[in-house]
Chains A and B, each alone.
Chain A
């Protein structure tokens, strides 16, 4: 650093001179005697004596010959008097020292680092001075009072240093400088944090510091650990870098789903299945837990088990297995109550988590709306995704950036292109019309097939096809409709992100139709079974009655009870529903996997290996490789989850199967994507919040809540199976618990709360609150928009103001412009010899300067803020410095002081 700038700095620091005065002592002394900090009081006097010569030598070396005498004076008089006269020498020594070991003492560093460096040394001095003053002045009381604030100061400095250490990584410095700074700061902290306080307090402080250090280390380790605990992070990142964020968003959604299902699994297994298995009546003890005599022969066959019949049907995986005993085991666990509450809380938890994640997603994306002002800037500076590490993806990214630029340019050039708008409008209406036709057609087809299947079910001897017609038609529709929609959607010419949403909505409608036809068929079945139930109940009673009262048995000996397998029993519609959902889930999973295997993997293999012996280019031509079908996969996931929600009440084991399914599909799909899919033709970013997925999920959750709530509230449970058997309705278990287990006043309170006279006002109140909050948020957003408009207007005004000013200035200095700008380019030329582009750049600048048409604009660019923009007019010191920096060519250093310092704060 030049002398000039040092002098400037000294002047700038004049106000802090008193503080600075003692720097050299401490710098030297602390370097020489690190042991002193340990017990300053005992070693104070001898240590100081030893210290003087070395220090005086150094200070003398740094241009202050008179300092030894001063030190002696100081010893006699005490410290306060001495500070002022010593100031200048201190400043210089400090600077020279900084020069010596400042391997990277640069301009940027100077302001903040020295500001920090200054007080650091000062307080180091104070710190060392304190024990001396105590030892010299035997009273020591004055030193005590002084040391309090000094201590506070040191503490402050240490904290500051620590902050610097903590934020070191945020500094735009090269590593070498960061390391130097870091070492200095660490040394300082280590040196002085232990020395703070006296006696017991000191030890306490040191201990605390140690703990703090340990804590920081622990936190760092814990963070590392936490990062490693996020499952599949690397896999997803890998996919993201190959296929862009839209494909990754599916996998993130899948992971989230897995987490939710894991919680549901824990809930159901922990509170229902495991208590039942551990404490419930064992298998084979009562009829509902036994395979009926007629089925026993085949109950272990794989074909039967595969259909979830036989032993699986009579296991804890299904509703029918549970007993209606109020309490089980020595814990007196109330299983029916737990079963009901878990069923409710599965929905409660799912609703809560979906809504919460939606809210947090939408909170993250509040700062939009500014993007209109910076379309081109954003496209230019943020459109390239630095994550792309795949040449195919890069190619499509280049293409998409080019097209997006072109689109914006076209928009910019002619904002009204009439005939195109009409054409697209027409095409979009046409596409929607076609798709509605498709949906109606598929709906009618399903209706027709269901009707037919009801007829078939009445007949005997139906073929395999006739029995499975509904399923076959539904999966065929599910297979062929989405590609058809996609083909039609190509007419619409939407941006792929918007197109994806439309596609999702359409397939959603299709699937919803399928789902609800399925549900209606299931409901018919349930009602049929319910109507038969009364008859079966009578048969059961009659059988038992006959069995016990039959003649030909010795009356004196009580008859052994009828074997549970022989007791006639009802059809247990709940288990039937559970089995239906179980089958659907498994078959859905298999269809998905087979589709991936055949549609993606085999296709990819075929295209890859048959390409060289085929008559056209398979890779570029017809079959090519498959793209990852985001919409289909997302919807498959969402509907599968709907099945789980609907079925989990009647088949507690369903969630376990779903967890397995999600786990395998995570690995399988990751593999399939990486091995056999290609990136989309138009790589597009996923919308920042995947609230669209979440919205669909919420809708499906609500739709799957409806049938479950309906069956719980309005259908009587089977009389001989399940935890609620014998009750009129399933929710009666709540009444029962409240009446029998809670104190009576609580029962009264509940009865009072359930009163319609209270519920209706509560609902009204909720509506009012929603209305009020909604209007508040609306008004706030309106105010927000107005403020934004105001800012926009201000900005415009400012801009026009500035441009007017600059034009005026340009006119004033009209003649000098040409020479000035030329001068500038020449200077730049000399200055930027090292950079490869400087020559061509200066040429363009020259051209601009000489071209009469652009002369004024070029001038207005370069001239008006003369002191900053014109390199020629920089103050000599600054220019020298920057020139030096450039020759050493640290890229970060070449910034002018002002701009380079900014990011630090």
Chain B
């Protein structure tokens, strides 16, 4: 018990439990994971909320993320300044959204952010090309990629403006049978 108390105050733990989908134990585990990433950076006492950021390279070195083609985007979306460096809060946010318990709407919102590479609030053809080339490690030819992007736009673009808005995306992802099971990181 002593160990737990020294990292967070009970109140902090309660608040984290209210703000994430994690239990107390999981939060502590996540904290230790976070602390392990940069033991010399992160203090073992968070009762005073120190402003510490773990650099992007360490975040992406986590086994949960290191094989993910979208790890850079994930880190950027969840980090405060979009540069991929994460505070503990960002870290908790990220895994909360990616947890099993998070509702589809929330996941869809962040998935949209992740696939929106240029942060313009729309998934345009360029974003789609990025997505495809990351998914296939660039093994598709240019024509194939553009064909795929065209087809995706054709399928999911509800208002026919040549790009996917959040609404389009949610509309599409609502019907995806696998979305909840795949957009999910276990920690």
| A residues lining the B interface (CB < 8 Å) | 165, 168-172, 174-176, 178-179, 182-183, 220, 223-224, 227, 237, 240-241, 245, 365, 367-368, 370-371, 373-378, 380-391, 393-394, 398, 401-402, 405-406, 409, 412-413, 685, 688, 799, 802-803, 806, 828, 832, 834-835, 837-838, 840-841, 844-845, 857-858, 860-862, 864-865, 869, 886, 888-892, 894-896, 899, 902-903
Contacts and interface: CB of A to CB of B under 8 A. Distances in A.
Contact of A170 (B78, B105, B156, B178): B105
Given A169-B19, A241-B186, A368-B177, A381 B117 contact: no
Given A175-B90, A405-B148, A895-B166, A224 B160 contact: no
B94 to A, nearest CB: 10
A387 B184 contact: yes
Contacts of A895: 121, 166
A312 B110 CA distance: 63
B111 interface: yes
Give the interface centre of B17, B68, B169 by most chain A CB atoms within 10 Å: B68
A409 B19 contact: no
B146 to A, nearest CB: 11
A387 B95 CA distance: 12
Contacts of B67: 388-391, 393-394
B151 A685 contact: no
Interface string B73-85: 0001111111100
Interface of B: 15, 17-21, 23-25, 63-64, 66-70, 76-83, 89-90, 92-93, 96, 98, 102-103, 105-106, 108-111, 113, 115, 117-122, 124, 126, 128, 130-132, 135-137, 139-140, 144, 147-148, 151-152, 155-156, 158-163, 165-167, 169-170, 172-173, 175-179, 181-186
B68 A386 contact: yes
Contact of A374 (B98, B115, B172, B185): B172
Contact of B182 (A178, A365, A382, A806): A382
B105 A903 contact: yes
Contacts of B144: 405-406, 409
Contacts of A245: 181
11 contacts: A175-B90, A182-B18, A183-B15, A376-B151, A380-B135, A390-B63, A402-B139, A806-B161, A862-B161, A902-B166, A902-B167
Contacts of B113: 891-892
A865 B172 contact: no
Nearest to B123: A381
B184 A374 contact: no
A179 B169 CA distance: 28
B170 to A, nearest CB: 8
Give the interface centre of A390, A391, A405, A688 by most chain B CB atoms within 10 Å: A405
A446 to B, nearest CB: 42
Contacts of B175: 367, 370-371, 373-374
Contact of B151 (A368, A412, A803, A891): A412
Contacts of A374: 155-156, 172, 175-176
A97 B69 CA distance: 44
Nearest to A224: B23
A386 B128 contact: no
Closest 8 CB pairs between A and B?
A861-B162, A175-B89, A394-B67, A899-B166, A376-B151, A402-B136, A370-B175, A178-B19
Nearest to B135: A401
B161 to A, nearest CB: 6
Contacts of B130: 837
B135 A384 contact: yes
A374 B151 CA distance: 9
Contact of B135 (A368, A398, A890): A398
Given A223-B23, A224-B23, A899-B165, 9 more contacts: A175-B90, A224-B25, A374-B176, A377-B176, A386-B68, A387-B182, A394-B68, A685-B178, A891-B78
Contacts of A405: 132, 135-136, 140, 144, 148
B186 A387 contact: yes
Contacts of A169: 18-21, 96, 102
A804 B163 CA distance: 17
Nearest to A860: B162
A375 B80 contact: no
B17 A220 contact: yes
Given A179-B15, A402-B137, A903 B106 contact: yes
B186 to A, nearest CB: 5
A390 B64 CA distance: 8
Contacts of B179: 381-382
B67 to A, nearest CB: 4
B69 to A, nearest CB: 7
B81 A889 contact: yes
Contacts of B161: 806, 860-862, 864-865, 869
B173 A381 contact: yes
Contact of B119 (A376, A381, A894): A894
B165 A227 contact: no
Contacts of B131: 380-381
B120 to A, nearest CB: 6
B23 A889 contact: no
A273 B178 CA distance: 47
Contact of B15 (A182, A370, A412, A899): A182
Contacts of A899: 121, 165-167
Contacts of A869: 122, 161
A483 to B, nearest CB: 31
A213 to B, nearest CB: 11
Contacts of A860: 161-162
B128 to A, nearest CB: 7
Nearest to A887: B81
B108 A903 contact: yes
A174 B63 contact: no
A377 B66 CA distance: 24
A172 B80 contact: no
A241 B98 CA distance: 14
Contacts of A902: 109, 166-167, 170
A172 B110 contact: yes
A322 B141 CA distance: 75
Contacts of A171: 106
Given A170-B103, A381-B111, A799-B160, A402 B140 contact: yes
Contacts of B106: 170-172, 903
A391 B68 CA distance: 9
Contacts of B66: 389, 391
Nearest to B71: A386
B82 A834 contact: yes
A174 B121 contact: no
A799 B161 CA distance: 10
A889 B82 contact: yes
A375 B152 CA distance: 8
Contacts of A413: 147
Contacts of B81: 888-889
A891 B76 contact: yes
Given A183-B15, A386-B183, A892-B113, A220 B148 contact: no
Contacts of B172: 374, 377-378, 381
B182 A383 contact: yes
B68 A384 contact: yes
Nearest to B157: A799
Contacts of A802: 159-160
Contact of A380 (B78, B124, B148): B148
B63 A384 contact: no
Contacts of A176: 89
Nearest to B183: A386
Nearest to A374: B155
